[in-house]
Amino acid sequence: MRLSSIIPGPQLDSEILTEDTFQRIIGLSSVIIHIHRISDLKIIFINKEINDLLGYSLVDLEEMNRSLPGISDNLFPEGFTGVYDGLPKVWLKESTVKHKDGSVRYIKTRYTVLKKGQKQATEILGYSEDITEEKILVEQLRQQELIMTQAEVALKFGSWEWDISTNKIVWSKGLWEIFGQDSQLFELNYDSFLSLIDFKDQKRMNDCIAKCTKDHVPYEIEHRIIRPDGEQRILLGKGQTICDEAGNTIKLRGSAADITEIRNTTLQLINSEALLKEAESIMGYGSWELCLDTGKMSWSKGMFQLHEVAENAFQTISFDEYLNYFIKKEYRDIVKNASFEAIANQQTFHIEAQLVTSKKQSRIVIIHGRIGEDGSEYPRRMVGSINDITQLRKYEEELESKIQELNHSNQELEQFAYVASHDLQEPLRKIRAFAEFLQQRLGSKLTESEFDSLERMRESAKRMQEMIHTLLEFSRIGRSQQTFIELDLSQTLQKVLEDLEEMINERQAIIQIGNLPKIMGVSTQMHQLFLNLIGNALKFNTHQPVVVVSASLNQQIDTKKYWKISVSDNGIGFDAEYAEQIFILFRRLNARFEYSGTGIGLSICKRIVEGHGGTIWAESIPGNGATFTFTLPFSESLL
């Protein structure tokens, strides 16, 4: 068969290609053989493999004007300028070619020029092979390598290989990320690798690798590294030897994983477990878990201590055994029913019961339990705790006893108050009356000294009566049960001003009142509070009194809102060092002959404010008046 019978065209010079040569080429049935005319790059010869590999017939090729995209185009090497004699003897080209069925095939073609003797090249011979499967395999390997690299970086692990003969170490990308080194700048060999290990671990690492190399025993070691930024990380390294036919170690190959977070978490869990055990011991409680499939209970260390059982006495105990051995008989059904109800309704339970320890000690406990969440459709386990409240109950009994004693003392105090208000004041009243009687009856017969003595006796009895009355008022505040009601302090203050009307008019005082809030309080006590504060402002003044009462919602104590109420005056004031002493019972800063009073009024104010959940304080400069400020709880419902 002559070539011209395959594709009609110019006859090929026998000096260039012989018939035998082409017969041998055609015999290469696994590749496409094609010849192109250099002048127009048209295909002048192609074998039948074009049909087997690409699906095209010779007729199809004629219809495509003897041109096949991917084979006929871009035929020459990059940089070729048309100087045919300068072509290399053989050059390679990879391209994509569209199969007749529409699929894309990868083709690798080897080209060479054909010449007629020493004349100019006129044809190009090429033979193309289908490398589609190879390309797909390479791409799959590339994708797998990419996935592996991404997994290494994400999971913080990597692989390595050390060639002992060249002392070169190869790292995967994951290891470069872990060590924080630049693969382009860091020269990696055994010594440089060892320098990255924490100094405290270098000898241990070196010994481990040496033993592996010598004895061919795989190793596993935890060690620390220091990254360029100074951060310390913990790695788990593994390695094994690769030997030649003679059994000599030629390479080591292995992996390393960053386990810093795992180790830190483990350490935290260990510390948490230790703290939990310590807390259980100190607080007198223990934790338990009940497997609902087996009916077996597991105990924490605190449970063993609580029940006075040796910690290694058993690993599990059945629920029924626990009830029979440790729970007092009268509480067994209570505990069992509460547990079964919690399981049936998948809820929690809290019950008080009594148990008996292995040493026959009785204890009062609170048992807590709930269904453990494990994602299953039906409950599989119950978890809970047991708190020893024996001492708490003892304290409660002692407290109840003290409360009863206190109530008894209060009753005695009430009785004393009754005696003081009646039996003690009655003689004083008679003394005052007798002194007045003598002054009136003997008036002109008394000497000035005798009259003055009777007057002092009468005034002393009067002051004693006032002091007893005020002291009784002080003792009643906070001692008896009082009802808190909604109070409008503006209305309370108006009633106070009515009580002080005579004194206000006498002193020609100016009273300025701002907007006052509504609060929850005891009406009589709020009245007494303002009466004492404004009364003092009027009394301790040497000229026309000016009293200002204001309120604001600026004070926040322990994240709670409080009203801040101030009573300011322009009176005589006092030294700041006495700002706390003035609230002490019977403490006076002025002589009795200068200003009357018992020294109890501000103590009453302090007790009233504190009984309402507030605080009171004073600020003053001698000669420039004083400001008494107190706080009262804010209530949203009263706005």
The answer as to whether 274 is a domain residue is no
The answer as to whether 272 is a domain residue is no
Residue 307 to residue 298: CA distance in whole angstroms: 13
Cα-based distances in Å from 621 to 547, 580, 586, 595: 16, 14, 22, 19
213-267 residue pLDDT tens: 999 999 889 899 999 999 999 998 988 999 988 889 999 988 888 888 878 876 7
The single-letter code of the amino acid at 501 is E
Q: Name beta bridge partners: 232.
A: 226
Residues 339 and 412 occupy one common structural domain = no
Which of these, 312, 304, 310, lies nearest to 285 by C-alpha position? 304
Residues 72 and 120 occupy one common structural domain = yes
Cα-based distances in Å from 90 to 22, 26, 86: 18, 19, 12
Q: Which CATH number is 105's domain given?
A: 3.30.450.20
Q: Which CATH number is 625's domain given?
A: 3.30.565.10
Residues 110 and 251 occupy one common structural domain = no
Residue 412 to residue 333: CA distance in whole angstroms: 47
The answer as to whether 271 is a domain residue is no
The answer as to whether 267 is a domain residue is no
H or E element that contains 510? strand 510-513
The answer as to whether 278 is a domain residue is no
The answer as to whether 62 is a domain residue is yes
The answer as to whether 273 is a domain residue is no
Which of these, 186, 321, 174, 158, lies nearest to 254 by C-alpha position? 158
Q: Where among 412, 446, 476 does a domain terminate?
A: 476
Contacts of 159 (CB under 8 A, 6+ apart): 152, 171, 172, 174, 175, 253, 254, 255
Residues 444 and 522 occupy one common structural domain = no
The single-letter code of the amino acid at 308 is E
Residue 154 to residue 424: CA distance in whole angstroms: 90
Residues 374 and 398 occupy one common structural domain = no
Residues of the chain with pLDDT below 70 are 1-29, 69-88, 116-119, 147-155, 266, 269-284, 374-377, 410, 413-414, 416-426, 463, 465-467, 469-481, 555-559, 585-599, 639
Please give the residue range of the domain that contains residue 463: 394-476
- Vertex 352 angle, CA 348 and 357, to 5°: 115
Tokens of 370: 């709930």
> How many domains would you assign to the chain?
5
Residues 631 and 494 occupy one common structural domain = yes
Residues 84 and 102 occupy one common structural domain = yes
Which of these, 526, 505, 623, 498, lies nearest to 569 by C-alpha position? 623
The single-letter code of the amino acid at 50 is I
The answer as to whether 626 is a domain residue is yes
Residues 226 and 181 occupy one common structural domain = yes
CB burial of residue 166 (10 Å; 0-12, 13-18, 19+)? exposed
pLDDT score of 481: 62
Residues 402 and 381 occupy one common structural domain = no
Q: Where among 69, 104, 130 does a domain terminate?
A: 130
Name the DSSP letter for residue 84: G
Residues 295 and 313 occupy one common structural domain = yes
Residues 491 and 629 occupy one common structural domain = yes
Count of positions (residues) in the chain: 639
Q: Where among 130, 163, 183 does a domain terminate?
A: 130
In this prediction the pTM is 0.39
Residues 25 and 126 occupy one common structural domain = yes
Contact 7, 37 (CB under 8 A): no
Q: Name beta bridge partners: 351.
A: 367
Cα-based distances in Å from 69 to 6, 34, 58, 61, 75: 20, 13, 15, 11, 10
Contacts of 286 (CB under 8 A, 6+ apart): 280, 299, 300, 301, 302, 303, 304, 305, 306, 307, 385, 386
